[in-house]
Structure 1
């Protein structure tokens, strides 16, 4: 039986996972505020990419947070996961900005979502640096 690692909550990685989950929940609520049978979340390809990526990553982050809290760390897997997510969130940020510029749609929900996508990119990059030993935990 795994013991509870409460010290994880005070590490940089623990704080990063908490911030990623909070940002993920906020982005889910912003992108899917008007559901309309899924059209607002997944109707347009670029919005759908950002929304779908965020939803999947949010679930994975919650699972990884619980695993780390139970002291069942899988560092090599998390390092690869964080590298991939850094790239995917950078692409999602670019796609959302492209959508906003093309449609001249600068609603506050999209602006906040674009900022949070960029923040997610930076949080995953920071996590990669920690997992590679280039930044303190």
Structure 2
């Protein structure tokens, strides 16, 4: 059984900082899409924005859980690697859907552009996280 103790070093690693950035940007995306709902009556209503909002909501919850597990020094590398890969692909789809929404409706306000930028930044942090987790799995030097 693993030794469960507080791992304060995780907060200073690049993976810990990435999770913090993903969580903060996830809250920004949730607050923008749910507070200033464009064209619908609920956060998860309109298809394109509903997908972005729903995906972001689920990813924020998973990121918080993974962050807490890593703070408690519980190893979840296989799950995180799989999760990072799937979330990266889904965030590409979310960014495409958000751009499609912006173009088709012509609503180019500041907050939707900030949301698009946040979704793209989350995508890159997930991609970087997947890369770091893949490098940790290697037991030998790549030749």
Shorter-normalised TM-score: what interval?
A: over 0.9
Give the Å deviation of 1:34: 3.7
Structure 1 runs (4+) deviating above 2 angstroms are none
Among 20, 23, 27, which residue is 2:22 paired with?
A: 20
Pairing 1:103–2:117 present: no
SS in structure 1 at match of 2:43: helix
SS in structure 1 at match of 2:16: helix
Partner of 1:65: 67
Give the Å deviation of 1:42: 1.8
CA distance in 2, matches of 1:69, 1:29: 26
Partner of 1:80: 82
User: Higher Cα Rg: structure 1 or 2?
Assistant: 2
8 Å Cα contact 1:34/1:40 also seen in 2: no
CA distance in 2, matches of 1:6, 1:69: 7
- Alignment gaps of 5+ in structure 1: none
CA distance in 1, matches of 2:109, 2:60: 24
SS in structure 1 at match of 2:59: helix
Equivalences, count: 133
CA distance in 1, matches of 2:33, 2:11: 28
- Alignment gaps of 5+ in structure 2: 137-143
CA distance in 1, matches of 2:15, 2:82: 15
Output the aligned Cα RMSD. Answer: 1.6
TM-score (norm 2): 0.88
Say which structure is richer in helix.
1
8 Å Cα contact 1:24/1:58 also seen in 2: yes
TM-score (norm 1): 0.92
